[in-house]
Chain A
């Protein structure tokens, strides 16, 4: 019987406090949905404080890879650590320090933006007084008490950005964060990425938007579920 994961290194013992531990360290990570592999034997090392840009065509596996790093998905094979914590065994430690901003905004339609963020505060044990400034910074101060069901896609994405601002995670994972946003809202995302970088936090940004990502220190391409050398992706 093939084990679900192999060679998972033990990384217990407060390794997150060690600045030499990479923010993300993956080895041979593969994820299969049914019989279709979405991510194939990916090895990745991202240093702490680094801003990494991930590019690639639709279906390249970028979203799956980010979801694996965020512990929303388990790798079918392979091993890794995030902020020094084991990807499989220390999920709660990783989740406490990591924020995934993905295609779906994870908001409740019948709650207001403020209520959505206050709920997040309860789940994460955060001070609810952070909600107001986060919404203001995302440009939603005037609409904070309106129900999300009346928001445009761009406004919803701003609330999701406000959630990321609220938490100030050590590792920020952004999966196509510019989709559906106007230029002003894109600047809000860019500011969040720049601020995270300036504060020494790690960012992995996956985007198609060719005009974005200039703040990244390194760019990687993904195609067919694999990380490929720059310039060889199919689109």
Chain B
């Protein structure tokens, strides 16, 4: 019960900071939008090619946006030593992991709505085929990205490793999410949602593994 209460408090604190700082709105969303437009321009005007590549570009935009969102989430902890405050609190440290994952997942889901809208407009992507499969892929993929980012974000707070180590750790580990997300999205947007079960299952397995690993390992990563 304490774990749940403390996780909710962590998530609420992070979301409040994000809402006040408007980092997602002012930096991450424009970044994701620019990425999509640049890729779209580089692929040329061919409608079929754009529609085929749209799921991949969409997930790439979400993946890079998640890296920025986690850097921001941990920057707030590092600005004035707040992370040490969390370390010294006699709390279940897994609450920090779960709370941060929940807060960034909420931000990413809101961001995905905007990015999907942009992709539909730019690439003429159809969402009508299997909306529940599409929603499932994004929710499950977002949870997986949030779990990986929350787990390894704390390592990036090491003063020497700060900038480079986080994407180097997260991007390779997030590959299964990227692959499964792209495949499920592609099937859902081409009216073959019924074939996406295996990819959604992979996302569920990824989420369970990283949520469990994060809950168990995170307290040791946080300690000196």
Contact A73 B224 (CB under 8 A): yes
Report yes or no: B76 in contact with A108, Cβ–Cβ below 8 A: yes
**Residue pair B6, A108 in contact (C-beta under 8 Å):** no
Q: How many residues of A contact B (CB 8 A)?
A: 31
Residues A123 and B16 in contact, CB atoms below 8 Å apart: no
- Tell me the complex Cα distance, A73–B84, Å: 10
- How far is B2's CA from A96's CA once the two chains are assembled, in angstroms? 15
Please tell me if the beta carbons of A92 and B5 are within 8 angstroms of each other in the complex. no
In A86-116, the 8 Å CB interface with B consists of 91-93, 95-96, 98, 100, 102-111, 115
User: CA A174 – CA B113 in complex, angstroms?
Assistant: 48
Task: List residues of chain A with CB within 8 A of the CB of B91.
Answer: 123-124
Most buried by B among A73, A98, A108, A156: A108
Interface residues of B in 17-32 (CB under 8 A from A): 17, 20-21
B 32-75 to A, binary, CB cutoff 8 A, 1 in contact else 0 = 00000000000000000000000000000000000000000000
Cα–Cα, bound, A123→B87 (Å): 11
Give which listed residue, B5, B17, B20, contacts A122 with CB less than 8 A. Answer: B5
Q: How far apart are A42's CB and chain B's nearest CB, in angstroms?
A: 17
Asked if A79 is an interface residue, CB under 8 A from chain B, the answer is no
A72 touches B88 (CB 8 A): yes
Secondary structure dominating the interface of B: helix
Asked whether A74 is an interface residue with its Cβ less than 8 Å from the other chain, the reply is yes
**Does B161 interact with chain A (Cβ within 8 Å)?**
no
B9 touches A95 (CB 8 A): no
Q: Which of B67-96 contact A (CB under 8 A)?
A: 76, 79-82, 84-91
Complexed CA–CA distance, A124 and B91 (Å): 7
Given that A108-B76, A122-B6 are contacting pairs, would A102 and B88 also be in contact in the complex, using a CB cutoff of 8 Å? no
- A147 interfacial by beta-carbon distance below 8 Å: yes
Residues of chain A contacted by B21 (CB below 8 angstroms):
110
Residue of B at shortest CB range from A98?
B88
How far is the CB of B100 from the nearest CB of chain A, in Å? 13
Is residue A70 within 8 Å, beta carbon to beta carbon, of the partner chain?
A: yes
A104/B81 in contact, CB under 8 A? yes
Number of interface residues, chain B, beta carbon within 8 A: 24
Cα–Cα distance between A125 and B223 once the two chains are bound (Å): 21
Other-chain residue from B17, B89, B223 in contact with A111 (beta carbon distance below 8 A): B17
Contacts of A111 in B (CB 8 A): 13, 16-17, 20
Contacts A110-B21, A111-B17 given; does A123 touch B84 at CB 8 Å: no
Asked if B84 contacts A72 (CB within 8 A), the reply is: yes
Residues of the A chain whose Cβ atoms lie less than 8 Å from the Cβ of B6: 122-123
* CB-based contact A147/B20 at 8 Å: yes
- Which residue on A lies nearest to B81, using beta carbons? A104
A78 CA / B3 CA spacing, docked (Å): 33
Nearest B residue to A125 by beta-carbon distance? B2
Q: Is the CB of A123 within 8 A of B82?
A: no
Interface hits, B112-166 → A, CB 8 Å: none
Within the complex, the shortest CB–CB distance from B200 to chain A, in Å, comes to: 35
Across-interface contacts of A107 in B (CB, < 8 A):
80, 82
- Which residue from chain A places its CB closest to the CB of B23 in the assembled complex? A110
What's the least CB distance linking B28 to chain A, in Å? 16
Contacts of B80 in A (CB 8 A): 104-109, 156
A108 touches B90 (CB 8 A): no
Residue picked from A70, A102, A115, A123, most chain B C-beta under 10 Å: A123
Bound complex: CA of A109 vs CA of B91, how far in Å?
Answer: 22
CB distance from B80 to the nearest CB of A (A): 5
| CB of A71 closer than 8 Å to a CB of B | yes
Q: Do B79 and A124 touch across chains, with their CB atoms under 8 A apart?
A: no
**Which residues of B come within 8 Å of A, CB atoms?**
2, 5-6, 9, 13, 16-17, 20-21, 76, 79-82, 84-91, 223-224
11 further A-B contacts with Cβ under 8 Å, apart from A72-B88, A93-B90, are: A96-B90, A106-B81, A108-B76, A108-B82, A109-B80, A110-B21, A111-B16, A111-B17, A123-B86, A123-B89, A125-B2
Residues of A at under 8 Å CB distance from B? 70-74, 91-93, 95-96, 98, 100, 102-111, 115, 119-120, 122-125, 147, 156
5 A-B pairs with CB atoms under 8 Å apart are A96-B90, A108-B82, A122-B5, A123-B9, A124-B90
Q: Which 4 A-B pairs have the closest CB atoms?
A: A104-B81, A106-B85, A96-B90, A123-B89
